[in-house]
Structure 1
Amino acid sequence: MVFKTKINSKDYLRLCFYLTYRKPFTIIFTTLSFVLIVMGILQLTGRFYFGLDAMFTGLFAFYILFIPAMLYFKAARNFASNKRIQQPVEYEFTKEKMISKGAGFISESALDGLYRVEETRDWFLVYQSKLVANLIPKKDMMPDEITGLRNIFKNLSGIKLRLKS
């Protein structure tokens, strides 16, 4: 199976936010921050007293604003500095290997040596290791290609899989 993909900056930024804000710690800490900010605002208006210091509320407000801003700028900078991620890539999947070709590079990986394969609503994330992944957007694939790729991954053994049904 062969198909071509191209990642744009908007999709890359969305993926970075998704991968960051799906973690339980991030979800819990962000939710707690929102609750504490609301409590701090209610206390500052004089309606309720929770015993919160204004500086404490300001710290959580800083977190709510700073972390997404830093994530946005870091992801935008990473995308702009990585020429390979910006160019069209042709993927070829067989039962044994994955070949990716772009301008100036060809990469071949045995599928049985992958670390993990994860499918989200919009992406296939094919992890070579815990931190390195091939990002394959589904928007560039036909429905039968998505199904075929899922079937290739389902037939692999010894690899962590998180695929949609």
Structure 2
Amino acid sequence: MKLKVKVTIRQYLKILFSLAYSKPIMIFLVCFALLLVLWIAFYYSHLLNIPEPVIYQYITLLLIIVIQPTVIFTTIVRNYYSSNHLRETLDMDLTHDKIKIRGESFYMEILWSKIYKVVEKKNWFLIYQNNLSAILIPKKELSPEQIRQIQEILGSVKTTHE
């Protein structure tokens, strides 16, 4: 099955933010930030008799809701623009034994048996080469028939992570 794939910076930001904030530690931090917001809001609204927040609560809140997303955002943008492979239009050929990818500056063939893992998200197929690096296939530009064919191929793949 042949595909043409182009991942925009906007798409790349969306998928990486969603992957980052789906990790248990990130969910915990966001919930903790919400508790801090509630604490501060209840204190200043005088709805509950709770202790006054001190500078540490404000610093923690700033780190979680401003600094952390900013660092994640700048890292994603820097990674996207520093990698020619991410910005290129890719011609992919998925067969039952390997995936072939041709970009404007590279050519790569990977046997399915050497793939770390395959993940299907609502709007993406992620083909991980290791635990940090994935080949991204956005479903947005695929027909329902192409999505079904990719699901069939990826469903038969035995990866190194299994």
- Tell me the TM-score normalized by structure 1: 0.89
Cross-structure match for 1:129: 130
| Percentage of identical aligned residues | 25
Instruction: Give the 3 Å change call, closer, same or farther, for CA 158–124 of structure 1 in structure 2.
Output: closer
Please, what is the CA RMSD of the aligned residues?
A: 1.7
Query: Offset at 1:159?
Result: 5.1
Cross-structure match for 2:6: 6
Secondary structure at 1:104's aligned position in 2? Answer: coil
Can you give the 5+ residue segments of structure 1 that lack an aligned partner in the other structure?
A: none
2:161 paired with 1:139: no
Alignment of 1:9-158 (within 5 A): 9-62=9-62, 63-158=64-159
Q: Aligned equivalents of 2:105 and 2:158: distance in 1?
A: 32
Query: Offset at 1:97?
Result: 0.4
Q: Is the 8 A contact 1:127 1:133 kept in 2?
A: yes
- Tell me the TM-score normalized by structure 2: 0.91
Secondary structure at 1:7's aligned position in 2? Answer: coil
Secondary structure at 1:147's aligned position in 2? Answer: helix
What is the number of residues matched between the two proteins? 161
Q: Aligned equivalents of 1:8 and 1:60: distance in 2?
A: 33
Q: Aligned equivalents of 1:10 and 1:39: distance in 2?
A: 34
Secondary structure at 1:10's aligned position in 2? Answer: helix
Q: Is the 8 A contact 2:112 2:158 kept in 1?
A: no
Q: Is the 8 A contact 2:115 2:159 kept in 1?
A: no
Q: Deviations over 1:105-127 (max 9, x none)?
A: 11000012111000111111101
Provide runs of 4+ in structure 1 moved above 6 Å.
none
The one-letter code of the counterpart of 2:32 is: L
